[in-house]
Amino acid sequence: MIRFESVTITYPDAERPVLRDVDLAIPEGELVLVIGRTGAGKSTLLKAVNGLVPHFTGGTLTGRVSVDGRDTRTHPPRELADVVGYVGQDPLAGFVTDTVEEELAYAMESLGVSPAVMRRRVEDILDSLGLTPFRDRSLATLSAGQQQRVAIGSVMTAGARVLVLDEPTSALDPPAAEDVLAALTRLVHDLGITVVAAEHRLERVIHYADRVLQVGDDGRVRDSTPNVAMHDSPVAPPVVELGRLVRWQPLPLSVRDARRAASTLRDQLSSMARPGGTPTRTGESVVSVRALEARYDDVVALRRIDLDVRPGEIVALMGRNGAGKSTLLAHLVGLNKPHAGQVRVAGHDPFRRSSAELNRDVALVPQEPADLFYTDTVAGEIAADGTGDRARFLLDRLAPGIDGTTHPRDLSEGQRLALALAIVMAAEPPVLLLDEPTRGLDYPGKARLVDLLRDLATAGTAVILATHDVELAAEVSNRTVVLADGEVVADGPTRDVVTASPAFAPQIAKILAPLPWLTVAQVRASLAASAS
Amino acid sequence: MSSRERTNRQLHPGAWWAWSLALGATATRTTNPLVLLLLMAAAGFTVSARRSPVGTRSFGFFVRLGLFVLAFRLVFETVFGAERSGNVLVHLPEVPLPTWAGGLHLGGAVTAQGMLAATYGGLQLAALLVCVGSANALASPRRLLRAVPGALYEAGVAVTVAMSFAPQLVTAAVRVRRARRLRGRSATGVRSWVGIALPVLEDALERSIELAAAMDARGFGRRGTASPGRRRLVAGSVVTGLVAVAVATYELLDATSPTIVGLPLLVSGTAIACAAVFFGGRDVARTKYRPDQWQAVEWLVVVAGLAPLAGVMLAGRLQPGSLHPTTYPLAVPALPWPAVLGIVLALIPAWFGTPQLPAAQAIAVRPARVAEPAKVGR
């Protein structure tokens, strides 16, 4: 269905090609997963499938890419629209119309499909993606998971046989991600659609994949089965890490397989000392929220929230999209005025602090780290606040080797996060807030973030991170707060909270339940301790 | 929710726009405050009768804009009043201006006549704005663009994208300003806006490029069957026809110019544009999903919209002077009955026009979800 013949892609002004000598043949009906480090060229590979690279992005492509026999050299993306459907990272940015039904019909209108056929296909797709209840809704009012499903549907209606998806579940909470993946697998199994998807969150998708394309840092692509790829891939989900640690053969990819293989491990661990929970912190709380209520017009976003965070605590703030996580963070940095109740951060009301004072009390890395940047070089950003030395030190620690003359917008997602974090933490505020920090971060990048957050906490910084990433929460936080519909529904040690609900349980906890090990690192430590 | 919408078809957006614009055209032909107030009331009643939450909000914006224009006109009259004779209401200190200022006054006497004339003029502008606002509220401009014929499709898309660009710019600006506060920069004052201009524009540009890529990937702009020369001919004829129509409309609405030029120009311009659109449309390979239908009801809406215009023209014949009540001497404006009758007829669509959104969805649509970046908890 898709053929790459010795394809090399080089962007203008780049020293070396993003992709080098790629030879691929993807048959019909496969679910192909594209993995690789941040910035390795996964998106380039995806966009080359329907010709967006190089027709839209510039750069030179040597070799030949063809889909269903059509060469992308002679067929620009619009001439491939009836074969290949492409869904970008942010579905909302790619929507052309207002409402669900019109969006689903848009591509067919461009292709000149007859009205009767259009009508039938829209109804089919509404059913198969579970969108019927929202057919008249405005796209902006849908949740992120629903938007992703509409985006997938809108390319499916055009009759696409190939579906190309860039990070389809990265921005979604676990249940919404499950919905999208269920829809995708149904398309693959029922209709024989070929799916090519890039995804950082391997723990969510690896067990659905038929094969894996690994994009190396040198631009070469390795084509293998998931089992083979996971043996030595630098990016791997916790279940694979555990399998490698215990040397399971064959390597399990899903929680189910791992759980079946884990009975001896569970026996072994049950006789060992439980992993030490982090000691409860004492001391004056540095963040104190009392009966906080927040509203947008007449919609209540937060109801009577109480929260105390002490120095050195790392609190994971979890909950569905729209549960009020970002709203709570906005109140902690004084961006929103409380409707009722009281907020104290480092002893002050953040809403009444001036911008300069606030900067010494609390730091927030927003969902879009790039919003913080306003100069045109990395060095300029670092120097802008007068705390350049400290910022440079933090940046080198998080993402070593960033050239000071680079434009902040040319950085990869992970590098942007590192720069934003370095800038806001340079003033050494006692409280650090992060909003969804792992979007677009690969496993090594995540590991560096975890190390830095631990160091900051040891030095007495209170950290609150809003996240969907249960693995990160299990790894780094010692306390978890779950919000639902604007209320705190759970607040306690991470170990107790995440094991109590399957939606928030990390993979290791699911494999080893009812034992209280949450991460591969904990298992490794326990095994090492018993061996010595 | 959807069952109601299926049985009760939405009216063609073109019908509502014609209705509203005809009301607006009526407003341009009179300064009679009673007629103007009745016109605004009719527009407001129809909008509220069709209860669409989004539409009602945008209508509110136009009403506020109209009030602002009226207030501005009155303030202007107070300060630079041209009407110096008549019943003096209050004496302001006068600033003498040199003769090259062309007889402009600053301060001085404020007369009842001057203020009244300014009120009438301001009301006329406000009524025009309210009518445009009602068009916006009754059928979203995006829905109207869906009804654009194939030959004009590209232009329609350009307008759609431009319309989505402005709100995106606002969203991005709010987001970046909030982020500035996080870096210890002041988020108030003119300077804070200057600093964010570049990042905001970069952000909006990036989004536009992303949208363009998405549209291309979904088949926008696939080659039609027509040759480039033919396409250019069609586009040229459409523009020529539309310009002719615009000029003719101006001639017709400007009561002082002879209507003998306007009418033939209107007819021929419409004919050229329609022919070009018809022949151009045959070359385009696009199809339309569930196109809005134009049936008898739509004609009725258009006719109802034209009724006040006819009424005002009739009033001009039967009761000359009633459309432009004199302010010198002061007089209570008369209420011309043909105009009132026309406005009453214009209210008919408020009853049979189906609600744009059923009540259930009216609740589901949350206000201003997009404009508040911090609360979208992704």
SS3 readout for A140-203: HHCCHHHHHHHHHHHHHCCCCCEEEEECCCCCCCHHHHHHHHHHHHHHHHHHCCEEEEECCCHH
Measure Cα distances from A183 to A145, A148, A176, A388 in Å.
11, 11, 11, 48
**Rounded CA gap, A49 and A2, in Å?**
7
Give me the sheet containing A211-215, strands edge to edge: A84-87, A162-166, A194-198, A31-36, A211-215, A221-224
Residue-level length of chain A: 532
* Per-residue pLDDT, B368: 37
Beta strands in A358-469 (DSSP E): 362-365, 431-435, 462-466
The reply to whether A287-494 shares the fold of A2-235 is yes
Kindly report which listed range (A21-30, A300-309, A432-441, B295-304) carries the lowest average pLDDT score.
A432-441
With CA atoms as reference, report the closest residue to A157 among A193, A210, A196: A193
- Rounded distance between C-alpha atoms, residue B44 and residue B137, angstroms: 10
- Structure-block tokens of residue B147: 């009804």
Strands (E), A352-486: 362-365, 431-435, 462-466, 479-484
Confidence (pLDDT) at B189: 62
The shortest CB-CB distance from A50 to any of B5, B217, B377 is to B217
pLDDT at A480: 93
CB contact under 8 A, B375 and A326: yes
Beta-carbon contacts of A398 under 8 Å, excluding residues fewer than 6 positions away, are: A418, A421, A422, A448, A449, A452
**C-alpha distance from B279 to closest chain A C-alpha (Å):** 17
Q: Name the helix (H) or strand (E) containing B217.
A: helix B190-217
Phi-psi region of A178 (alpha: psi -120 to 50; beta: other; left: phi over 0): alpha
- CA distance linking residue B23 with residue B39, whole number of Å: 7
Query: Which amino acid, one-letter code, is at B190?
Result: V
d(CA A519, CA A473): 10
Of the candidates A111, A114, A110, the one whose C-alpha atom is nearest the C-alpha of residue B153 is A110
What is the CATH class of A2-235?
A: alpha beta
The H-or-E segment that residue A396 falls in is: helix A388-398
B203-212 LR contacts (CB < 8 Å, sep 24+): B203/A370, B203/B172, B203/B176, B204/B165, B204/B168, B204/B169, B204/B172, B206/A409, B207/A93, B207/B168, B207/B172, B208/B161, B208/B165, B210/A88, B210/A90, B210/A93, B210/A94, B211/A93, B211/A94, B211/A96, B211/B161, B211/B164, B212/A56
How sure is the predictor about A45, in pLDDT bands with cuts at 50, 70 and 90?
Answer: very high
State in Å, rounded, how far the first CA of chain A is from the last one.
Answer: 54
Nearest CA among A184, A201, A199, A206 for reference residue A252: A206
Whether residue A512 lies within 8 A of chain B, CB to CB, comes out as: no
Predicted confidence at residue A198, as pLDDT, reads 93
Model pLDDT, residue A355: 82
Q: Which residues are CB-contacts of A176 (< 8 A; sequence separation ≥ 6)?
A: A143, A144, A145, A146, A148, A169, A320, A321
C-alpha dihedral (A502, A503, A509, A511), degrees to nearest 10: 70
Question: Which strands, in side-by-side order, build the sheet including A70-71?
Answer: A19-26, A2-10, A60-67, A70-71
Whole-angstrom Cα Rg for chain B: 25
d(CA B218, CA B208): 15
A-chain CB neighbours of B368 within 8 Å are 296-297
The pLDDT value recorded for residue A28 is 92
pLDDT in tens, A235-284: 889 999 999 999 998 899 999 999 999 999 999 998 888 887 666 677 78
- Cα gap B159→A461, rounded to integer Å: 50
- Residues A343-355, mean pLDDT to the nearest whole number: 90
Task: Please check whether residue A137 touches B, CB under 8 A.
Answer: yes
How far apart (Å, rounded) are the C-alpha atoms in residues A458 and A51? 49
Nearest chain B residue to A104 by CA: give it.
B289
Tokens of A442: 């690969």
* Closest by CA position to A181, among listed A223, A145, A214, A224: A145
Q: Measured between alpha carbons, how far is A430 from A346 in angstroms, rounded to an integer?
A: 7
Domain ranges of chain A: 2-235, 236-271+501-532, 287-494
* HEC string for A286-337: CEEEEEEEEEECCEEEEEEEEEEECCCCEEEEECCCCCCHHHHHHHHCCCCC
Q: Residue B290's closest chain A neighbor by CA?
A: A115
Whether B124 and B30 have beta carbons less than 8 Å apart is answered as yes
CB A321 within 8 A of CB A293: no
Torsions phi, psi for B91 (to 5 deg): -105, 120
* A135 contact residues in B (CB cutoff 8 A): 2
* A326 vs B: CB within 8 A: yes
Average of pLDDT values for A220-232?
Answer: 91
Of the pLDDT bands very low, low, confident and very high (cuts 50, 70, 90), residue A491 is: very high
Assign residue B12 a region: left if phi > 0, alpha if psi is -120 to 50, beta otherwise? beta
A166-175 exposure pattern, b = at least 16 Cβ within 10 A, e = fewer: bbbbbbbbbe
Paired sense of beta strands A431-435 and A462-466, if any: parallel
Residue-level pLDDT at B377: 35
Phi, psi of A22, deg, nearest 5: -90, 125
Place of tokens 């589901």: B364
Distance of alpha carbon B38 from its chain centroid, rounded? 18
Instruction: Give the highest mean pLDDT range of A196-200, A376-380, B92-96.
Output: A196-200
Residue bearing the bigger pLDDT, A240 or A13: A240
For helices B13-28 and B33-49, angle between their N-to-C axes, nearest 10 degrees: 170
User: Under an 8 A CB cutoff, do B199 and A76 touch?
Assistant: no
CATH class of segment(s) A287-494: alpha beta
Cis peptide before B167 (omega within 30 of 0): no
Per-residue tens of pLDDT for chain B, all 378 residues: 333 343 356 788 889 989 999 999 999 989 999 999 999 999 999 988 876 655 666 788 889 999 999 999 999 888 877 666 778 888 888 777 777 766 667 777 888 888 898 999 999 999 999 998 898 888 877 777 777 776 677 777 777 667 667 667 777 788 887 888 888 776 566 666 667 777 788 887 788 788 888 888 888 777 666 677 777 788 788 888 888 888 887 777 666 665 567 778 888 888 888 888 777 766 666 788 888 788 888 899 999 999 999 999 899 888 888 888 888 778 888 889 999 999 999 998 887 655 544 433 433 333 333 333 333 333
CA distance A168 to A89: 7
Question: Contacts of residue B174 in chain A, CB cutoff 8 Å?
Answer: none
Provide, rounded to the nearest whole percent, the portion of chain A with pLDDT above 70.
99
Query: Is A111 an 8 Å CB contact of chain B?
Result: yes
Question: Is the pLDDT assigned to residue A492 strictly greater than 80?
Answer: yes
Residue of A nearest to B209 (CA): A56
Provide the β-strand partners of residue B106: none
Q: Do residues A200 and A170 make contact, with C-beta atoms less than 8 angstroms apart?
A: yes
Determine the straight-line distance between the first and last CA of chain B, rounded to whole angstroms: 28
Search chain B and give the residue with CA nearest A468.
B378
List CB contacts (< 8 A) between B291 and chain A. 115
Find out whether A226 and A240 touch, Cβ atoms under 8 Å.
no
Tell if the CB–CB gap between A95 and B183 is shorter than 8 Å.
no
C-alpha distance from A412 to closest chain B C-alpha (Å): 15
Residues of chain A in contact with residue B221, where contact means CB-CB under 8 angstroms, are: 78, 110
**Per-chain mean pLDDT for chain A:** 88
Indicate yes or no: CB of B184 within 8 angstroms of CB of A359.
yes
Is A122 in the B-facing interface, judged by CB distances under 8 Å? yes
Alpha-carbon torsion (A295, A301, A305, A310), positive or negative = negative
Measured between alpha carbons, how far is A96 from A101 in angstroms, rounded to an integer? Answer: 12
pLDDT value, residue B103: 64
Q: Using CB atoms and an 8 Å cut-off, which of residues 129-188 of chain B contact chain A?
A: 140, 142, 146, 160, 175-176, 178-187
Distance CA B93, CA B112 (A): 17
The pLDDT, as a whole number, for residue B251 is: 74
With a cut of 60, say whether residue A298 has pLDDT above it.
yes
3-state secondary structure of B323: coil
Q: Does residue A315 have a pLDDT over 90?
A: yes
Q: Are B25 and B346 in contact (CB under 8 A)?
A: no
Nearest residue on chain B to A295, alpha-carbon basis: B375
Answer whether A96 sits within 8 Å of B218, measured CB to CB: yes
Could you say which of A171, A324, A372 has the minimum Cβ distance to residue B378? A171
- Quote the pLDDT of residue A144: 81
A 343-382 → B contacts, CB under 8 A? 354-356, 358-359, 363-364, 366-368, 370-374
Determine the pLDDT at residue A401: 81
Per-residue pLDDT at B190: 65
Q: Cis (ω within 30 of 0) for the bond into A250? A: yes
Q: What is the structure's pLDDT at A360?
A: 86
| pLDDT per residue as tens digits for the range A405-434 | 888 887 877 788 889 988 888 888 999 999
